[in-house]
Structure 1
Amino acid sequence: MKFAAACCITLSACMAAGCAHLPAYDAGGGAALATPPSTLGKSGPIASGIDLAWRDPAVRPADDLFRHINGKWLDTTPIPADKSAWGSFHELADRSLDQLHAILDGIDPATADADSRRVADLYASFLDEARIDRLGAAPLAPLLARIDALRDPRDLPALIGELGLAGVNGPYAFSVDQDARDSTRYLLALQQTGLGLPDRDYYLSDAPQFAAIRADYEAHIARMFTLAGQGGDAGKSGAASSGGEADAARAAGKPGAAAPTPQATDAARRILALETKLARAQWSRVERRDPVKGYNRMTVAQLAAAAPGHDWAGFLAASGVPAGINEVNAAQPSYLAAFAALAGEVPLADWRDYLRWKTLDSLAPYLARPLADASFDFHGRRVSGTPEQAARWKRGVRVVDANLGEALGKLYVARHFRPEQKARMEALVANLLATYASSIDSLDWMGDATRAEARRKLASFRPKIGYPARWRGYDGLDIRRDDLVGNLLRATRFEAARQLARLGQPVDRDEWFMNPQTVNAYYNPRMNEIVFPAAILQPPFFDANADDAANYGGIGAVIGHEISHGFDDQGSQYDGDGNLRVWWTPEDRKRYEERTAMLVEQYGAYEPVPGFHLDGRLTLGENIADNAGLSVAYRAWRRALGGIEPPVIDGMTGEQRFYAGWAQVWRGKVREAEALRRLKTDPHSPADLRCNATLSNQPGFYAAYGVQPGDRLWRAPEQRVTIW
């Protein structure tokens, strides 16, 4: 299950209980917090914080600051073979991975505490490739046998629930979230899932690129079925579905060595047809961004009436939902209704093949090498353009991070996060909040009634920095050094039980939804909190030895980005208590939407991949956050200077260093296949646009670099979007 309501600084680098509190802050009248200390006045030379080695002086900043600051890096740095993209976030993520690797290698299970031993044992189970290869597809046998036994359509909902508890990506799934209209309680939610390709457009678009991927996906399904000894429902044999010695022998060969069987090819065709039907019924990512449209609280009986013919109560019971829980949020009700109709129309044999495929696809990375390699060959190489699979130790670290994240994070923080880093971050956050308060007071498009509510919301923001104050425990989770798939199944069920146990309990406002070792940050509208894991508090985002300007252009803008999510097109629909309600006047909302519509138009005109424009509606929230965050970070930096003009360092004025700090944060490049995938799935704009498109709306950037009409980054004043 996943946390559904976070707005992150990036998705590309992603892959946690308690928090640090800031002192009370009066959002209505300025800061009740000290202005963060400035680097001005320090003795000795001050580092600019800008990596000058990658600057390309042949590119004018007024034409392309992204390439001016990063040009030599872009020209000389290849994307590593095991990556679909590479840049500042990825460099830090790899550094974190190396640190976690060293921690894992240093754990002695004989003397470690229980959770550290679980961490070491899970890692060891992934590294035991010889044993995994000997097993072939055998770990799937119990799940496949359960699917084989499906003979009555009325049993389909319970089977979907059981497989979901095993981590199988079925046609719909549940999560436990805060009730969007009552943030003091938890609510069960049902969401659309179940596609094997990245997005519904991959199934529905007529573009040649997507048609080719569909054809390759169908071939991939047939290949995987053949490797796993699965002939599909029309050609099953006992040995093929058992996952025993015959499968292990087959899986010992090179992926693709055996031609897909006719039965597997037929099953693949029917599975693709079924997933296409699901895709037609699904909501687009733009529709799913609407929190009001996605809030449909109803009883289970009402759900059964809205999506008839499917035993929703049976699904919930099989998923482990406690008896007596009688309310759900149907996040995409029209999809659930369409699925319920499909469940009765599609032959049961097709559902069996579909669920076999979902099981195999979900667990293939943890099976014998031919299956894991074939899975990567399609999802990694074909869909994202990544030439090579990551080293096994890297994949093993990520498995531990995904399943025992806080146990690993506790070890990471003890070794790699210093108290002074947290203290400095607290001061930066305080100054950004104070600057936002001043911005609210000066907005010309916000009236007094909305302004008062906005102040209250800002005053109730809760920052969490570095790591949880109360760590999650894993007591009762059975992890064995010789049972990788079993470990993952038990970990998935353990997490599902943890989430379900929250129903009917007070909301845990100390919970984290990212691990401290994650290079990212997020805003959670239902908690009204901004969260900054320890791993992002490093150069180029934050350097304690560098000049303030670069830090404010880096981590300052990240902080501003997350705060502004509380007031973007989605977050602004939640009040200071985290409840979805109307707190804007209609006039203010209209003026706000006029400005955000300009951002939709601006970003929608960009064409990152030839023939494919950026979706200005999908990326609107992140584009608002980038533009507002950078604008407020600039004013926060000026505020921190206390009226003292910054010196020239490395030939750059303070203003130039601020914007250069922003530009180097977004240093990065991406493979074309991955760029296309992100255009369809990622609510963030591409890195170069996050840099340059945002700068084209910033008055301070025009002054810092003397941008004039005719320069590539010039936008006429009436076209520039200023929100905060």
Structure 2
Amino acid sequence: MNSIVKTMAVGLVATATLAFAPPGDKKPKQPKYIDPANMDQSVKPGDNFYLYANGTWLKNNPVPGAKTRWGSFDMLREESSKRMQALLETAAKQSSNPKMQKIGDFYSSGMDTVTIERLGYDPIKPDLQRIDAITDVNGLLNEIAYMRTQATGSPLFGFFLSQDRKNVTVYIPQLSQGGTSLPSRDYYLNNDSRSTSIRNTYSQHLAKMFGLMGEDATTAKRHSDAVMRIETALAKAQMSRTEMRDPYKTYNKFSVKDFTATTPAINWTTMLNNLKLTGADSVVVNNPAFFKSVDLLLTAVPLEDWKTYLKWNVLSSAAPYLSSAFVKQNFELTQVLTGQKEMTPRWQFVSGIIDNQLGDQLGQLYVEKYFKPEAKQRMQALVNNLQETFAGRIQRLDWMSDETKRQALEKLNTFTKKIAYPDQWKDYSAIAINHNDFLGNTKRASQWAYNDMISRWGQPIDKNRWGMTPPTINAYYNASNNEIVFPAGILQFPFFDFGADDAVNYGGIGAVIGHEMTHGFDDNGSQYAADGNLKNWWAKADADKFKTRANEVVEQYNGFTVLDTIHVNGKLTLGENLADLGGLSIAYEAFTKTKQFKEGKKIDGFTPAQRFFLNWAQVWRSNALPETQAQLILTDSHSPGMHRANGPIVNMDAWYEAFDVKPGDKMYKAKEKRTHIW
């Protein structure tokens, strides 16, 4: 969360009472929503609530060979991908049906490993030959623009068209730092043993990939070194991920003419024209210093090295779609970065590509077969309930002035709510999909998406667009549109189930709803006003009090150890941690209004309040490989599952009461030290 996660989760149970209908004629069974068999009740709740709630499950569910982590989210994603596989296999058999042709032939092309193997790297040879013909820096820059528009790579920097953060009624071209291949700049710059080992592996990976294109060992090593030098220089010029979370620091608006003056080697009018965006007079740049460094590098680095760098970008972008030698070599690097032991099954990889590139067409079939419309109605009621509860909490805040409260309530009450799937589906009719051209299909779909983005230039803002596809097990908040979005995929147990008691649904999807709402008021989202514009709406005294409380959360999460001596980065994860704390607090108060809470009857030995917190904890249960944990600490704005489960609850009085947590328990936090924000 921007989305609720990039991680974790629990078993998917398909029953007749779920938001999703069971496939085929399987007889539904009633899930045990809070199952003591998954718990480790030898652990005191107040010592490690996450292990108390999930300990036995964690012991019995190691990470599968083809995964990097395994938990509630992953299990739902696995089931979702199997559903997509079934839809795609059916579509492949019915590709004469216009409704099925594109996704069916796309799937067939991805599964046609015989053709892919025969082609080797032939599909990218024209791109490599075109790069060979470059004779000067201008030719290099023209090729960089061409590669982006033709989906053959994204070298040097990022480019996209999106809303102007300070005037969200218009689109504006945006330029961002980029150009590196490893997941984080830290891998290029840090000198710890883990980073050094990954750099060495990456350097060898580069040489091996060049070798697969027929280069001898000496040439491949020379080319590997050239790419490493360029990417390391680009990494040095990049801001850290924590710095990149600052929406003001990354908002630098220039006239195109003035920005060109800062980069003598790059004419941005020409570049934007070559990127198919004409008539722009301004750009937003997230890191101007990065582009000054790029400008210097363009003339300081030999042209032949730049050509090698562009070839690497072509090869790296295409490798997943080429013959098995390239795919296997790619996986060797993945193994070192993440610890993954086995390749992702071919069908799953191809299904994911189609979900990403033709997501609306596949998603339309997905919701027709699996999603129950009643879930959308129930979800709408839950969202309204949480919104009303949040409003009451804002009104009662003792640290915020009346005027700032008024602004906060205006923002909360103008949330746009998107649930399950779009009202309008994208039209992919212009994309040509061929049943035996996998790489070509991915490129044409990407070209369509690029042109679709460019077509928004000069047009009114289209607020009907979604940033996720319907099968996605996730949710998100979009600050510029002040919207909260919940795809159909997340409306399943352990988040949501028609048959579950309110404690389970409020501890699951209720906390997710509250999480996304709180993103509008976290350290980043709180800087955007009700109309979506980046502008201050806070009284200074209130903003100072908010920052003081937020810093308490930074310090709390900085204290969590993940692996060896690696700690959670409290600043990088602050937005998600604030959203977890706010979301769970709002969801719990909303739950206290229900009949179940008021009656207080136990189910399976647990009170309503206990079941609420237990479901919250089982949402986040997850095992992850050590290599993956180390990578996520550098790259992910979300804390690991244990700390997402345990972090918020120690600040909630209700948790202490529900489980009789006392001084002396390891998680106990004195009442006066508990952080309360939203």
What secondary structure sits across from 2:246 in the alignment?
coil
**Is the contact between residue 92 and residue 103 of structure 2 (CA under 8 Å) also seen in structure 1?**
no
Measured after TM superposition, the shift of residue 13 of structure 1 is 6.6
Q: For 1:537 and 1:556, locate their aligned partners in 2 and report how far apart those are by CA, in whole Å.
A: 11
Which residue does 1:442 correspond to in 2? 396
Which residue does 2:100 correspond to in 1? 116
Q: Does 1:179 align with 2:189?
A: no
Instruction: Select the residue among 517, 533, 537 that pairs with 1:563.
Output: 517
Which residue does 2:230 correspond to in 1? 274
Q: For 1:394 and 1:684, locate their aligned partners in 2 and report how far apart those are by CA, in whole Å.
A: 25
Deviates more, 1:165-174 or 1:419-428: 165-174
**Is the contact between residue 13 and residue 519 of structure 1 (CA under 8 Å) also seen in structure 2?**
no
Which residue does 2:26 correspond to in 1? none
Please give the per-residue CA displacement for 1:521-575, whole angstroms capped at 9, x wherever unaligned: 0000001010000010001111110110111011100110000000000000111
Please give the per-residue CA displacement for 1:667-690, whole angstroms capped at 9, x wherever unaligned: 101001110110000000000000
What secondary structure sits across from 2:266 in the alignment?
coil
Q: Does 1:223 align with 2:208?
A: yes
Q: Does 1:153 align with 2:148?
A: no
**Is the contact between residue 59 and residue 68 of structure 1 (CA under 8 Å) also seen in structure 2?**
yes
> Using a 3 Å threshold, how does the CA distance of structure 1 residues 301 and 556 change in structure 2: closer, same or farther?
same
**Is the contact between residue 49 and residue 550 of structure 1 (CA under 8 Å) also seen in structure 2?**
yes
Measured after TM superposition, the shift of residue 108 of structure 1 is 5.6
Instruction: Select the residue among 78, 88, 99 that pairs with 1:104.
Output: 88
Which residue does 1:333 correspond to in 2? 288
Q: For 2:38 and 2:222, locate their aligned partners in 1 and report how far apart those are by CA, in whole Å.
A: 53
> Using a 3 Å threshold, how does the CA distance of structure 1 residues 333 and 671 change in structure 2: closer, same or farther?
same
Q: For 1:415 and 1:193, locate their aligned partners in 2 and report how far apart those are by CA, in whole Å.
A: 40
Q: How does 1:339-354 map to 2 (within 5 A)?
A: 339-354=294-309
Q: For 1:523 and 1:427, locate their aligned partners in 2 and report how far apart those are by CA, in whole Å.
A: 18
Q: How does 1:504-543 map to 2 (within 5 A)?
A: 504-543=458-497
Q: Does 1:609 align with 2:594?
A: no
**Is the contact between residue 254 and residue 283 of structure 2 (CA under 8 Å) also seen in structure 1?**
yes
Which residue does 2:44 correspond to in 1? 60
Q: How does 1:78-97 map to 2 (within 5 A)?
A: 78-97=62-81
Q: For 2:639 and 2:482, locate their aligned partners in 1 and report how far apart those are by CA, in whole Å.
A: 24
Q: Does 1:364 align with 2:319?
A: yes
Unmatched tracts of structure 1, length 5 or more? 1-5, 15-45, 232-259
Q: Does 1:417 align with 2:402?
A: no
Which residue does 2:550 correspond to in 1? 596
**Is the contact between residue 144 and residue 154 of structure 2 (CA under 8 Å) also seen in structure 1?**
no
What secondary structure sits across from 1:177 in the alignment?
strand
Measured after TM superposition, the shift of residue 423 of structure 1 is 1.1
Q: For 1:113 and 1:133, locate their aligned partners in 2 and report how far apart those are by CA, in whole Å.
A: 28
**Is the contact between residue 8 and residue 621 of structure 2 (CA under 8 Å) also seen in structure 1?**
no
Please give the per-residue CA displacement for 1:279-301, whole angstroms capped at 9, x wherever unaligned: 00001101110111111122211
Q: For 1:717 and 1:113, locate their aligned partners in 2 and report how far apart those are by CA, in whole Å.
A: 64
Instruction: Select the residue among 430, 436, 443 that pairs with 2:384.
Output: 430
Please give the per-residue CA displacement for 1:400-450, whole angstroms capped at 9, x wherever unaligned: 111101110000010111011111111111110000000110011111111
Measured after TM superposition, the shift of residue 171 of structure 1 is 1.1
> Using a 3 Å threshold, how does the CA distance of structure 1 residues 111 and 118 change in structure 2: closer, same or farther?
closer
Q: Does 1:7 align with 2:25?
A: no
Which residue does 1:624 correspond to in 2? 578
> Using a 3 Å threshold, how does the CA distance of structure 1 residues 640 and 115 change in structure 2: closer, same or farther?
same
> Using a 3 Å threshold, how does the CA distance of structure 1 residues 643 and 284 change in structure 2: closer, same or farther?
closer
Q: For 1:51 and 1:400, locate their aligned partners in 2 and report how far apart those are by CA, in whole Å.
A: 36
What's the TM-score once normalised by structure 1's chain length? 0.89
Which residue does 1:550 correspond to in 2? 504
What secondary structure sits across from 2:567 in the alignment?
coil
Which residue does 1:641 correspond to in 2? 595
Q: For 1:366 and 1:309, locate their aligned partners in 2 and report how far apart those are by CA, in whole Å.
A: 34
Instruction: Select the residue among 260, 274, 288 that pairs with 1:304.
Output: 260
Q: How does 1:475-486 map to 2 (within 5 A)?
A: 475-486=429-440
Q: How does 1:119-134 map to 2 (within 5 A)?
A: 119-134=103-118
What secondary structure sits across from 1:722 in the alignment?
coil
Q: Quick one: which amino acid aligns to residue 7 of structure 2?
A: S
Q: Quick one: which amino acid aligns to residue 366 of structure 1?
A: Y
Please give the per-residue CA displacement for 1:54-80, whole angstroms capped at 9, x wherever unaligned: 111111111111111111111111211
What secondary structure sits across from 2:162 in the alignment?
strand
Q: Quick one: which amino acid aligns to residue 525 of structure 1?
A: A
Which residue does 1:289 correspond to in 2? 245
**Is the contact between residue 164 and residue 173 of structure 1 (CA under 8 Å) also seen in structure 2?**
no
**Is the contact between residue 620 and residue 641 of structure 2 (CA under 8 Å) also seen in structure 1?**
yes
Q: Quick one: which amino acid aligns to residue 656 of structure 1?
A: Q
Q: For 2:499 and 2:596, locate their aligned partners in 1 and report how far apart those are by CA, in whole Å.
A: 20
Q: For 1:73 and 1:531, locate their aligned partners in 2 and report how far apart those are by CA, in whole Å.
A: 30
What secondary structure sits across from 2:518 in the alignment?
helix
Which residue does 2:338 correspond to in 1? 384
**Is the contact between residue 310 and residue 343 of structure 1 (CA under 8 Å) also seen in structure 2?**
no
Q: For 2:288 and 2:324, locate their aligned partners in 1 and report how far apart those are by CA, in whole Å.
A: 40
> Using a 3 Å threshold, how does the CA distance of structure 1 residues 84 and 48 change in structure 2: closer, same or farther?
closer
Which residue does 1:29 correspond to in 2? none
Please give the per-residue CA displacement for 1:227-266, whole angstroms capped at 9, x wherever unaligned: 122x3xxxxxxxxxxxxxxxxxxxxxxxxxxxx6111011
Measured after TM superposition, the shift of residue 47 of structure 1 is 7.5
> Using a 3 Å threshold, how does the CA distance of structure 1 residues 47 and 486 change in structure 2: closer, same or farther?
closer
What's the TM-score once normalised by structure 2's chain length? 0.95
Count of residue pairs brought into register by the alignment = 658
Measured after TM superposition, the shift of residue 212 of structure 1 is 0.7
Q: Does 1:319 align with 2:304?
A: no
Which residue does 1:77 correspond to in 2? 61
What secondary structure sits across from 2:630 in the alignment?
helix
Measured after TM superposition, the shift of residue 145 of structure 1 is 1.1
**Is the contact between residue 48 and residue 547 of structure 1 (CA under 8 Å) also seen in structure 2?**
no
What secondary structure sits across from 1:355 in the alignment?
helix
**Is the contact between residue 88 and residue 540 of structure 1 (CA under 8 Å) also seen in structure 2?**
yes
Q: For 1:48 and 1:285, locate their aligned partners in 2 and report how far apart those are by CA, in whole Å.
A: 41
Instruction: Select the residue among 175, 179, 182 that pairs with 1:190.
Output: 175
> Using a 3 Å threshold, how does the CA distance of structure 1 residues 549 and 355 change in structure 2: closer, same or farther?
same
Q: For 1:173 and 1:196, locate their aligned partners in 2 and report how far apart those are by CA, in whole Å.
A: 13
> Using a 3 Å threshold, how does the CA distance of structure 1 residues 201 and 115 change in structure 2: closer, same or farther?
farther
**Is the contact between residue 8 and residue 641 of structure 2 (CA under 8 Å) also seen in structure 1?**
no
Q: Quick one: which amino acid aligns to residue 289 of structure 1?
A: R
Q: Quick one: which amino acid aligns to residue 11 of structure 1?
A: K
**Is the contact between residue 697 and residue 720 of structure 1 (CA under 8 Å) also seen in structure 2?**
yes
Q: Quick one: which amino acid aligns to residue 324 of structure 1?
A: G
Q: For 1:52 and 1:112, locate their aligned partners in 2 and report how far apart those are by CA, in whole Å.
A: 51
**Is the contact between residue 157 and residue 312 of structure 1 (CA under 8 Å) also seen in structure 2?**
no
Q: Which contiguous aligned blocks of 4+ residues in structure 1 show a shift greater than 6 angstroms?
A: none
What secondary structure sits across from 1:328 in the alignment?
strand
Unmatched tracts of structure 2, length 5 or more? 10-29
Please give the per-residue CA displacement for 1:306-331, whole angstroms capped at 9, x wherever unaligned: 2332232332222222x212221112
Instruction: Select the residue among 673, 690, 696 that pairs with 2:650.
Output: 696
What secondary structure sits across from 2:623 in the alignment?
strand
Q: Quick one: which amino acid aligns to residue 148 of structure 1?
A: D
Which residue does 2:126 correspond to in 1? 142
Report the identity percentage: 41
**Is the contact between residue 267 and residue 353 of structure 1 (CA under 8 Å) also seen in structure 2?**
yes
Q: Quick one: which amino acid aligns to residue 439 of structure 1?
A: R
